[in-house]
Amino acid sequence: MADTVLHQDESTFVATPVDFIRRFVWKIAIATLLLMAVGSATRVMNAGLACPDWPLCYGQLVPSQQMNLQVFLEWFHRLDAALIGVSAIALVGISWWYRRQSPPWLLWASAFALFLIIFQGILGGLTVTELLRFDIVTAHLGAALLFFTTLIVIGVALLPYEATGTVGNLAWVSLSAAILVYVQCLLGGLVASRWALHQCFGASQLCAVMNSHIAGVVPPTLATLAVVILTWRTPAVHSTVRLLANSAGVLLLCQIALGVATFRLHLQVEPLTVTHQAVGAALLGSLVALTVLTWRDVLSTRRLQRSPA
């Protein structure tokens, strides 16, 4: 399906339903990235239980009398999550409305995204009612990252893209890198939810958890570097793939630097810790986007090879 319809007046473009849905999905993805950053800020500012009840805060939609920085962070985190949930419902509705003009998989992918955000909301409630139990908090982050990557997959799959047939093994390498980065993000969430870094510095407790996150840096780093190197060694690769690979390389370097700084400063600089998690999510998103494009290239090339001359 063409991305836009060009009328006789070349200065006038009419967006198709697919174009509209793709832009809507990207907006939700950006909002989700910001939501995860706010969630990280809520944790590092010890505001996870600033609202002692759920889904309301002190029994109110807007707890004006109790409002302070910690209460605001937790309240705003819930508000942002609710707005994203409404957006996910709208995405399913729009996908169903334009189902005849859209790819057949879009409605199912949108429904899966809605399922993830509902599951994420349930986990969010349990983090409060179960008093920030570490396994629930970690699962909360994992579900958020899955929802974010699902949106990335939908958005990139709807992009106009012309296969070059040159990606080779890059599709498998980028997929491996994305999976490894996701696991590393979960390890980071486990370290944060158990306050393992603080405990290890203070009393040599939970050092194994912290060290697993430190050692876990190696596999995703090597895999991401392999993605960058393979892209550089493939001159005919699509320009968008090259841009995503370069972005992943830059984000990887930033993430390593932020991780070292966070460790050396003993988590004393809250904005640094929040940025560390946000950059990790952005790195995951760039690798997922690259993976989708390279697999589109592979599948398109295979179809061309199987089609009769």
Q: Which residue has the higher pLDDT, 283 or 272?
A: 283
User: How many whole angstroms from its chain centre is CA 245?
Assistant: 16
pLDDT tens digits for range 164-208: 888 889 999 999 999 999 999 999 888 888 776 666 766 666 788
Residue 14 sits at φ, ψ, to 5 deg, of -115, 120
Question: Residue 263 pLDDT more than 80?
Answer: yes
pLDDT tens digits for range 139-156: 999 999 999 999 999 999
Question: Residue 4 pLDDT more than 60?
Answer: no
Average pLDDT for 231-252 = 93
pLDDT for res 203:
63
pLDDT for res 1:
42
Question: How many residues would you count in the chain?
Answer: 309
